[in-house]
Amino acid sequence: MRLIAPMLATAGALPDNTDRPWSFEMKYDGCRMLASVGGGREPVLWTRNLNVVTPSYPEVAEALTAAFGGRGRIVLDGEVVVLDHGKPSFGLLQRRMGVAHVAKPLQRRIPVTFLPFDVLALDDVDLMGASYLDRRAELAELDSIIQDVGGLPITVPPFWENQSGKIMVNAAKSAGMEGVLAKRSTSIYLPGQRSRAWVKYALRTTSSLLVIGFVGSSRSVATLILGAYDAENRLVQVGSVSSGLTVPMRRQLREDFRPLERPSSPLTDPSAAAETFPGVQWLTPRLVVDVAYRAHTPGGLRHTSLKGRRFDVDFQSITWDLTQ
C-alpha cells in the first residue's frame, strides 16, 4: 500500500474571511497521524515522515476496524492526542510515542484519542481533488458511524465557517488550545506539499529542533544545546533549553546521548555559535525535541521550555530561518 504524505500548513497571520471563504480548526497539541482502514487489509497508521506506527497505537487500529473494517479503503488524516482533563497533553503523549509495541497496561494508563480532520479516500475513491468542505461533509458521514458504534477512541473535531481570525484566536486561548488552522474552503488536498491554502497560527511558538550537545554530569542532563540546518544546509546553533526537563527525563536523556557523543562540535562553523557553554559535551545531531519559546534574537531563542521528544520527525528535515 502506498503511504500518502500529509499536506502541510504555512505559518502566518490568519485571514479575516473578507476576500474568499475560509474555514477554521483548532490546532491540537499532538502528533500528526494518517490512517488507512478497510479494503480487505489490516489497518495501517503512519506519521508525517511515513513511519508506520500501528503497533504503537493498537487501540486506534482496533477502533478503526470496528467502525470501517468491512468497507472499501478509507484514508484519514488527523492528530493523535492524549487528553488530560479534556485538553491535549504532549507531555503524556510522548510516553506513548517512543514505544514500539504498546501493552494493555500502558494503553489503560495513558489512553490516546485519534482526531481525524480530513478524509483522503472513501470506499476506494480518491477524494484529494475534492474541496475541503466536500471532504468535511464526507467526514461528517463517517462521524455518524463512529457515534453509532460508540465508545471508540476516535473523535472528529469541529470546524467553523465564516468566522474572523480574531474570534478564532480568542476561542483557542479560552479553550487552552495550541493555536488555530485556517483552511481555504475550496482547497484541494496536496499530499506532501506545504501550501498557503492552509495557514497555521500558533499561540505559542513551538519548533522541532536538534539536540547538538548538552551540559551535565555522567548521570543527568542540565541543559540541552539546540541546532538546525539553515537555507544552505549548514548546521547552526539556535539556542538552549533547561526548563521543562523533569528529573526522569534528565536521566533518560543522559542514557540516550551516550551513543551520540563526539569529541568536537558538529556545527558547520563552530566559531559562529550563538552561545558558549563551559563543559559542553557535543553530540551527533540525531535526536529531535520540541521547544516552546517567546522570542528569537540574534543571540538565540529566549524564554525556552522543553515540550518533549519527537520520534515522528526526521532529523534531516529540521531547518531554521535565520532571518525570522
Domain identity same for 140 and 60: yes
pLDDT digit string (tens) for 180-207? 999 999 999 999 999 999 999 988 778 9
Tell whether 324 is covered by a domain: no
The predicted model gives 198-219 an average pLDDT of 91
Percent of the chain at pLDDT exceeding 90: 70
Q: Are residue 222 and residue 268 in the same domain, yes or no?
A: yes
**What was the pLDDT predicted at 2?**
85
Output the domain CATH number for residue 13: 3.30.1490.70
Nearest alpha carbon to residue 278 among 222, 199, 220, 205? 222
Stretch 215-237: mean pLDDT = 93
312 close to 31: Cβ distance less than 8 angstroms = yes
194 and 291 both lie in a single domain:
no
- Answer yes or no: is pLDDT of 323 > 70: no
Judgement on whether residues 167 and 151 belong to the same structural domain of the protein? no
Mean pLDDT of 287-297: 84
The reply to whether 24 falls in a domain is: yes
Counting every residue, how long is the chain? 324
Residues 311, 294 contacting (CB under 8 angstroms)? no
Q: What is the distance between the alpha carbons of residues 292 and 155, in angstroms, rounded to a whole number?
A: 27
CATH code for the domain in which residue 255 is found: 2.40.50.140
Mean pLDDT over 250-274 rounds to 91
DSSP notation for 287-317: -EEEEEESEEETTEEES-EEEEE-SSS-GGG
Q: Are residues 227 and 266 in the same domain?
A: yes
The domain containing residue 130 runs over which residues?
A: 29-156
Whether residue 13 lies inside any domain: the answer is yes
Are residues 125 and 264 both part of a single domain? Answer: no
pLDDT number for residue 324: 52
Structure-block grid coordinates of residue 70 = 468491512
**Do 135 and 166 fall within a single domain?**
no
Q: Give the C-alpha separation, 100 to 203, whole Å.
A: 32
Number of structural domains in the chain: 3
* Amino acid residing at 175: A
Query: What CATH number is attached to the domain comprising 104?
Result: 3.30.470.30
User: Is the model's pLDDT at 1 over the cut of 70?
Assistant: no
Same domain assignment for residues 174 and 135: no
The pTM for the full model equals 0.72
Same domain, 197 and 234: no
The verdict on 94 and 178 lying in the same domain is no
